[in-house]
Amino acid sequence: MRRIALFPGSFDPLTLGHLDLIERLSALYDEVVVGVMSNPAKKPYLEDEERLRSIERSVEHLANVRVALSHGATVDLARQCGAQVMVRGLRSVTDFEYETVLAAGYRYMAPETLFLPARAECGAISSSMVRDIHSVGGDVAKLVPQPVMEALARRDARKEK
């Protein structure tokens, strides 16, 4: 049986911390599905298709990783892709508290939830930090993969028109 892990998130945008987790998961599982979750109630910083394309380009060096966009529930995506586990990254105690509550709720509807701690050098990086820095013209090149930098540049170009 193929071991499939689902790594869901909004990835708005994908950070080097996310990419590190994906690379580590790629070494542990036969297949990793990066679930790009879309919430219609929220206004994304990068549009769904832009996030999807920039993540695909960021993980193209990992043969056993695929990226899936989902507008539905995370548990539904886990079932659709045949995942045995859902993996959540942890940067802090606050993340742990939030994620354990979610995992308890998913316990009866979804596969097991596993937590993977962030490496120390990635522990402070978050998508919200990247958005905040980028929105005021700051340089986020050391926080995101190159394809995400390109997506952010396209976003800026559209805003200027």
Catalytic residue chosen out of the listed positions 2, 42, 43, 159: 42
Is 159 among the residues known to form the active site?
Answer: no
Is 134 among the residues known to form the active site?
Answer: no
- Measure the CA angle with vertex 151, ends 141 and 34; round to 5°: 90
Tokens of residue 133, six digits = 């820095």
- Could you tell me where the DSSP H helices lie in 60-145? 74-81, 93-106, 127-135
Catalytic residue chosen out of the listed positions 18, 51, 88, 134: 18
Question: Burial, 121: exposed, middle or buried (Cβ in 10 Å; 0-12, 13-18, 19+)?
Answer: exposed
In sequence order, the 6+-apart residues with CB closer than 8 A to the CB of 58 are: 14, 19, 145, 146, 147, 148
Catalytic residue chosen out of the listed positions 24, 57, 91, 131: 91
Is 54 among the residues known to form the active site?
Answer: no
Catalytic residue chosen out of the listed positions 88, 126, 127, 134: 127
Phi, then psi, of 35 in degrees rounded to 5? -90, 105
| CA–CA separation, 118 and 155 (whole Å) | 28
| CA–CA separation, 150 and 85 (whole Å) | 32
Is 158 among the residues known to form the active site?
Answer: no
Q: Which residues form the catalytic set?
A: 18, 42, 91, 127
